[in-house]
Amino acid sequence: MTTRVKVISLFGITAAIVAAVILSVMLWQEKEPDTFRIGAILSLTGRGAKYGKAAHNGIELAVAEINSNGGIQGLPVALVVEDSASESRNAISAYKKMLDVDGVRAVVGPMLSDEVLAVAPAANRRKVLIIAPAAGTDKISEAGPYVFRNRESAMLQSAEIAQLLLREPLPQRIAILYSTTANAVSYKDAFVHALGDERERVVLDESFAEGQQDFRTVIAKLKSVSASHVFVPGLAPEIARILLQAEEAGFRARWYATAGAFDQELLKIAGPAAEGLIFGVPSLNTSDPTSAASRLNKRLLETYKTEVDMCSANAYDAVLMLAMAADKAKASGRSLRDELESIKDFPGAGGTTTFINPGTVIKPITLMTVRDSEFATLN
């Protein structure tokens, strides 16, 4: 009986020691993480897949560059990627999983405006920042202290287009056709605001659904109000079908759009009907071989056989800015947020970036047009 009690006691002591060792290791791992984890919530499938895949390429190249230079706070960067499938509910679930399971310090993405606004309340509550590389809605500027984006707001592009349009000879009868997405609505609102006292020239203000195929009814409305200039905030497939169906209906006007038009799909669908379209895009300086955009473009071509665009450039810049802020902050949460917001004149691939507030940046805009069935800088 005595011997059995001793064996049981010895076993209990041994188990306790093992448990203590395991607990101490776990606590040590929490205090001394072996990687600096960054999350990426990307639209790798769904309607935003093209943008998410481009952003993923830029992020991976940025992580490789950071790790080759010693990582963040002396730790290698580990990237945790989740596909939102371009759906807000998935983006929310991905953010929660990244914090609760993966232990990320910051998140790049989501990609689409609706997704960013959906995740914003959780980001502000949990105090782990997100930085959106592609979302354009101006609502992000008021989404909270932990909601960043490094794409220019809709206000800047819309103001450029409005000023260009207002320099056109009179008379002008302006129509606005816009997608019902948060991004396009912001472009439309900013455009109307930029018109100022001249907004009385707007003779038609009409929305359309994302993915819509048939625009014959709205084109009939354009003809009925004799619109001379049409502004179309949206994505390339819808813009292209509007242009093509307007051409088929014999409707002629001066056409303007937003950065969503800057897609080869527009040229494929619209063909000659896209000729003369004018739109604004973020400035990517690839003419200078020493520029950040040119260097990134070379690496993208070598690694993925793709060229630099707004999404890959902004996502690349977002990771580099996070690394710079984290090295200064030496911690996550509020200190990382404060360091990121303090960045001014960051010489990124997506243009020189200055944060006015977390959701608002100042970046240069380039006006583009379709000339001889190709995209060209507007002279």
Contact 98, 82 (CB under 8 A): yes
- Mean pLDDT in residue range 202-212: 93
In degrees, rounded to 5, the angle at the alpha carbon of residue 311 between the alpha carbons of residues 309 and 313 is 65
Structure tokens at 21: 């060792």
Using CA atoms of 81, 315, 326, 37 in order, give the dihedral in degrees to the nearest 10. 10
- Mean pLDDT in residue range 325-329: 93
Q: How many residues does the chain have?
A: 379
φ/ψ of 374, rounded to 5, equals -135, 155
CA gyration radius, the chain: 25
| Alpha carbon distances (Å) from 91 to 84, 157, 305 | 5, 27, 28
Question: Whole-angstrom Cα distance, residue 32 to residue 159?
Answer: 49
With a cut of 50, say whether residue 10 has pLDDT above it. Answer: no
Q: What is the pLDDT of residue 332?
A: 77
Contact 284, 313 (CB under 8 A): yes
With a cut of 80, say whether residue 302 has pLDDT above it. Answer: yes
Question: Whole-angstrom Cα distance, residue 142 to residue 6?
Answer: 67
The percent of residues above 90 in pLDDT, for the chain, comes to 73
Residues 6+ apart with CB under 8 A from 166: 172, 195, 198
With a cut of 50, say whether residue 27 has pLDDT above it. Answer: no
- Mean pLDDT in residue range 101-114: 96
Q: What is the pLDDT of residue 96?
A: 98
Question: Whole-angstrom Cα distance, residue 302 to residue 21?
Answer: 48
With a cut of 80, say whether residue 340 has pLDDT above it. Answer: yes
| Alpha carbon distances (Å) from 94 to 81, 205, 324 | 9, 36, 25
40: left (phi over 0), alpha (psi -120 to 50) or beta: beta
Question: Whole-angstrom Cα distance, residue 23 to residue 180?
Answer: 53
Across 26-30, 122-126, 229-233, 314-318, least confident range: 26-30
What is this structure's pTM? 0.79
Using CA atoms of 303, 304, 310, 315 in order, give the dihedral in degrees to the nearest 10. -60
Q: What is the pLDDT of residue 157?
A: 85
30 vs 87, higher pLDDT: 87
With a cut of 80, say whether residue 84 has pLDDT above it. Answer: yes
Across 124-128, 133-137, 316-320, least confident range: 133-137
To the nearest whole number, what is the mean pLDDT of the chain?
A: 89
Question: Whole-angstrom Cα distance, residue 86 to residue 49?
Answer: 7
Question: Whole-angstrom Cα distance, residue 130 to residue 124?
Answer: 9
With a cut of 80, say whether residue 23 has pLDDT above it. Answer: no
Please report which confidence band the pLDDT of residue 33 belongs to, taking 50, 70 and 90 as the band edges: low
